[in-house]
Structure 1
């Protein structure tokens, strides 16, 4: 047999085996299911922009939407590039504010007369931060941005370029090397809180956020919630420290920070009892506090002593605010409150099957990073904000949420709308929603 004949024989044999395998798979595969026209999206869909049908279907939880949406993710990085370019080459501020679609007037008299202060701690994802800021931005509010000292110089410069264009947005005067679950995270909030009292804006409530949050409720809805449901009270959801959490404050913890590595670790040193015989509570690190309570937290001796005692505890921001707010004489205190207060919508891993049916993105430290299939759950939540988002991983999640949010915001406005407040110049969908 010649070499050519051997090659031909080998080819025919491989071809025969391939045909046999394909035939076997075809015969044993289940027949395709008939699509339900009311539950599935059309196959043919444009992915070079964000069509009404796709984002609307994602919010309705239709079965085919996440699958089709994953194909459309590839079109999104162009938007991220646009934001980066604008902040690297800011030019004049008027142009930047318009091209980034910032709201430039109070949208109602109710909002103009009730200012909010925000603390936003960030360390990464420039595009996500811009989307968060322009969602919650209003000229009558004030914003302190804490940038992790470990963040890159380019990131800090980009944030500074944006902040320079607003009188009511500033970077914290003192910045920390923030360590997850460390005292530095609480100190970052304290630093910003002190700065916010120097602002000429007489804000009513202060709210803290991180760079992976996004609002579910508009500025007007947040104000209405605070006024109608709480009316001068603080929101610090939490309970008396459970037994399985007590280790956080029983022994001393230290922060370790080195190049590219940071963490908190326990020591063998047993801590003293809390100062002033305080009962330690456990709750969320995120809050909505009245101006008087925030002043109390910065000036009261018990608050100062608790802050000092908390320096070597694990995740002190999860006990500090809630403990102070349970003091009966604290301004706006809620001594008998438990987990009341819809601050954050979070899908915790251990709550699967109870408060949610699972994470459609992925978990980080047992917290869901939202995927496309989570959008319906997010917008149906009664909470003010949702966490956690990663624009670089799931860009369409934020894009659809952002455009829906802006439409709702403008529909609630009592003032004439400026052209640049709309997103239509970016060729995004025009979706009608009920508010």
Structure 2
């Protein structure tokens, strides 16, 4: 009775969130006017957080008493209370820190032993393999995932098992520089499933070179040949992890109305030498030269953003077949970090399916795909930084558990495996609960690209409309003769 009552109270809050916050703001402003010096925004945030934490503590406490939380896998540590860690309890965090230092994975749970028997792997790591346990809405909205990795097969496999569904399709690209054991382990994992494809024709990926774009395009080609009628392509690294269940991801992507979720903003002036100067690969790194690089097309606008996102199926088809898109990807060879400009720029072209048109483009707080803490962000990183990006640890769980984004970047299983294990436990239980109404739908419904495509989806997806947009763009840029497009591989 208590749990049912508490859930009803939280559901009431969730459905009436806007009204409650408006009342809170109004009262805070009134207090400010009367007493002065009171931060009404802080009041509202604390008020909302307190309700959320009260609900979570009561909800999880009651479930624990009933022993309703299933361990996500037989190979996950049993001595850590993930609920307390998610709630940010300091004592449990100290306990987790000690556990990480003194406990290692047992032999029977090591990946190199599990992959020798596919059934053992699926059972030990609780892979979802039965379509009967999957919602019809998920089955009708299959997804394509691409994972690019170079290290830690155990961490990549943990990511894989948490996004795996038999109706989706997966491509895994292991950097050729990786240890042979890493590739062999991932290949054995892939051999256990008919919808996981391991790229055989690999290259040694040089950081910030065209290799990253080439690897991505290779996976796009592979999943496009699949018989699965997937709707969105989500690209990942082996060091990322989902913050949402498959059903939640499907529901959220459906709200995009066919729009791509790709970070895109004007290329900063101080960084433009990345594409105005020629860059060459020497050994395992890329170097800038003093040679000017010719422009792709006169008055062509370059954009910058994340290399990762959620790409609609028509956008992936566009990348693989459109002559301008293919020429642009070829031109990017010789630039620095082309993966940060490839999709961000293509997504702004007027005839791009699901692209960001100027009316929908909003670089601030509208990138749905990734939760990232940069070294210059206000959010505090409880882990450590690598190349300016926070590598999350157990102390970041309260922040991660309340994010609206689909995935978080990045993690290091060798430094802190508990943060991944606890996120896995949260996801497993949310998959079992399937209460998608508790997500922050105000956030998803008001994303600028989602709102724009909600109004113009039918017109914007018309091939004739997009072709006219392309013809106008070509004429405006005085492009009359097209260069030879890049050749297909495979």
Normalising to structure 2: TM-score of the pair? 0.70
Partner of residue 128, structure 1: 155
Q: Secondary structure at the match of 1:143?
A: strand
Q: Secondary structure at the match of 2:376?
A: helix
Partner of residue 125, structure 2: 100
Residue 276 and residue 184 in structure 1: after superposition, are their counterparts in 2 closer, same or farther (change >3 A)?
same
Q: Secondary structure at the match of 2:166?
A: coil
User: 1:194 Cα shift?
Assistant: 0.8
Partner of residue 263, structure 1: 285
User: 1:277 Cα shift?
Assistant: 4.1
Query: Does the 8 Å CA contact 2:142/2:231 hold for their aligned counterparts?
Result: yes
Distance in 2, Cα, partners of 1:407 & 1:79:
24
Task: Specify which of 317, 322, 327 is matched with residue 295 of structure 1.
Answer: 317
Residue 100 and residue 109 in structure 1: after superposition, are their counterparts in 2 closer, same or farther (change >3 A)?
same
Structure with more helix by fraction = 2
Q: Secondary structure at the match of 2:413?
A: coil
Partner of residue 343, structure 1: 369
Query: Does the 8 Å CA contact 1:139/1:168 hold for their aligned counterparts?
Result: yes
CA offset digits 1:87-131 (Å, max 9, x no partner): 4x513x233322221101241000000010011001111111111
| Bigger mean CA offset, 400-409 vs 109-118 | 400-409
Distance in 1, Cα, partners of 2:247 & 2:298:
39
1:114 aligns with 2:141: yes
1:276-425 → structure 2 map (5 Å cutoff): 277-336=299-358, 337-339=361-363, 340-351=366-377, 354=378, 356=379, 358-412=380-434
1:210 aligns with 2:237: yes
Distance in 1, Cα, partners of 2:289 & 2:391:
31
Query: Does the 8 Å CA contact 1:215/1:385 hold for their aligned counterparts?
Result: yes
Partner of residue 195, structure 2: 168
Show structure 2 runs of 5+ residues with no match: 1-53, 58-75, 437-490
Q: Secondary structure at the match of 2:230?
A: coil
Residue 155 and residue 49 in structure 1: after superposition, are their counterparts in 2 closer, same or farther (change >3 A)?
closer
Distance in 2, Cα, partners of 1:285 & 1:79:
36
Residue 133 and residue 413 in structure 1: after superposition, are their counterparts in 2 closer, same or farther (change >3 A)?
farther
User: 1:147 Cα shift?
Assistant: 0.5
Please say which structure displays the higher CA radius of gyration.
1
Q: Secondary structure at the match of 1:77?
A: coil
1:244 aligns with 2:270: yes
Q: Secondary structure at the match of 2:90?
A: coil
Distance in 1, Cα, partners of 2:423 & 2:315:
33
Distance in 2, Cα, partners of 1:203 & 1:320:
22
Q: Secondary structure at the match of 2:390?
A: strand
Task: Specify which of 78, 82, 89 is matched with residue 50 of structure 1.
Answer: 78
Q: Secondary structure at the match of 1:311?
A: coil
Distance in 2, Cα, partners of 1:135 & 1:379:
16
1:191 aligns with 2:221: no
Corresponding residue pairs, total:
357
User: 1:361 Cα shift?
Assistant: 1.2
Q: Secondary structure at the match of 2:345?
A: helix
Query: Does the 8 Å CA contact 2:220/2:316 hold for their aligned counterparts?
Result: yes
Compare relative contact order (CA 8 Å, sep 6+) and give the higher one, 1 or 2: 1
Query: Does the 8 Å CA contact 2:82/2:425 hold for their aligned counterparts?
Result: no
Distance in 2, Cα, partners of 1:379 & 1:226:
19
Distance in 2, Cα, partners of 1:211 & 1:383:
17
Task: Specify which of 279, 297, 301 is matched with residue 275 of structure 1.
Answer: 297
Partner of residue 137, structure 1: 164
| RMSD of aligned alpha carbons | 2.1
Show structure 1 runs of 5+ residues with no match: 1-37, 40-47, 415-435
1:233 aligns with 2:259: yes
Distance in 2, Cα, partners of 1:244 & 1:399:
41
Q: Secondary structure at the match of 2:105?
A: helix
Residue 291 and residue 129 in structure 1: after superposition, are their counterparts in 2 closer, same or farther (change >3 A)?
same
Residue 81 and residue 375 in structure 1: after superposition, are their counterparts in 2 closer, same or farther (change >3 A)?
farther
